[in-house]
């Protein structure tokens, strides 16, 4: 399990209606957000569900890829496969900031353990079949916001938001 010095972080790009994706694909393409994701998660453990892993071209390099699945016969190249939250968290030992990278069910499962959330909020509503869980702001405090305007190659305004869990 996590030790007190670890800061489990959920990282996601969502829309204003909490959409994450549709048909196991991202709905939008934000190259700057992908660069930020790489910069923040590089060198860390990343926990994801099977569908999220399968949506990637391969295991993400320079990260400890941990896949949580109920499928007990599932195997993946260059990744650890586990079948419980506890097993996933145990594999993050020694990492000061492991990340949870999706999908919707995985975010929901790990939300109670998270101390930090890094969101990219795309200022638009999208049709989706996978959603980020609603945040209860009595438990979370926004500590950072960085706004970005749309550009020729990025048609939507977006913001980077950081939330910290409030001490209970």
Number of neighbours of residue 33 by Cβ within 10 angstroms: 18
**Residue 105 sits in which domain range?**
9-165
Considering the domain boundaries, does residue 119 fall inside one? yes
Mean pLDDT, range 17-41, rounded to an integer: 94
Is 161 contained in some domain?
yes
Going 107 to 9 to 18 to 14, the CA torsion angle's sign is negative
Q: How far apart are CA 48 and CA 101, in angstroms?
A: 5
Residue 81 lies in a domain: yes
Mean pLDDT score of the chain: 95
User: 83: which residues sit within 8 A by CB, 6+ positions away?
Assistant: 68, 69, 70, 72
pLDDT at 168: 65
Tens-digit pLDDT profile for residues 101-143: 999 999 999 999 999 999 999 999 999 999 999 999 999 999 9
Residue 12 token pair: 């996601």
- Is the pLDDT at 41 greater than 80? The verdict is yes
Q: Which CATH number is 44's domain given?
A: 3.40.430.10
| Share above pLDDT 90 across residues of the chain, in percent, rounded to a whole number | 89
pTM of the model: 0.96
pLDDT of residue 2: 83
Strand segments, DSSP code E, in 23-167 are 25-26, 45-49, 64-68, 80-82, 99-102, 116-122, 130-131, 140-148, 158-165
Q: What is the structure's pLDDT at 153?
A: 80
Average pLDDT over every residue of 41-47: 98
For the chain, the C-alpha Rg in angstroms (whole number) is: 15
């Amino acid at each position: 399990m996590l030790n007190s010095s670890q800061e489990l972080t959920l990282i996601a790009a969502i829309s204003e209606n909490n959409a994450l994706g549709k048909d196991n694909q991202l709905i939008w393409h934000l190259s700057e957000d992908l660069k930020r994701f790489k910069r923040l998660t590089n060198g860390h453990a990343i926990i994801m569900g099977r569908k999220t892993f399968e949506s990637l071209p391969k295991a993400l390099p320079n990260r400890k890829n941990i896949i949580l699945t109920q499928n007990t016969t599932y195997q993946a190249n260059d990744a650890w496969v586990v079948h419980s939250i506890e097993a996933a968290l145990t594999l993050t030992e020694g990492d000061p900031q492991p990340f949870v990278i999706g999908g919707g069910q995985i975010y929901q499962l790990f939300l109670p353990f998270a101390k930090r959330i890094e969101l990219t909020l795309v200022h638009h509503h999208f049709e989706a079949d996978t959603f980020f869980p609603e945040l209860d702001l009595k438990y979370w405090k926004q500590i950072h916001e960085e706004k970005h305007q749309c550009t020729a190659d990025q048609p939507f305004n977006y913001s980077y938001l950081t939330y910290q869990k409030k001490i209970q």
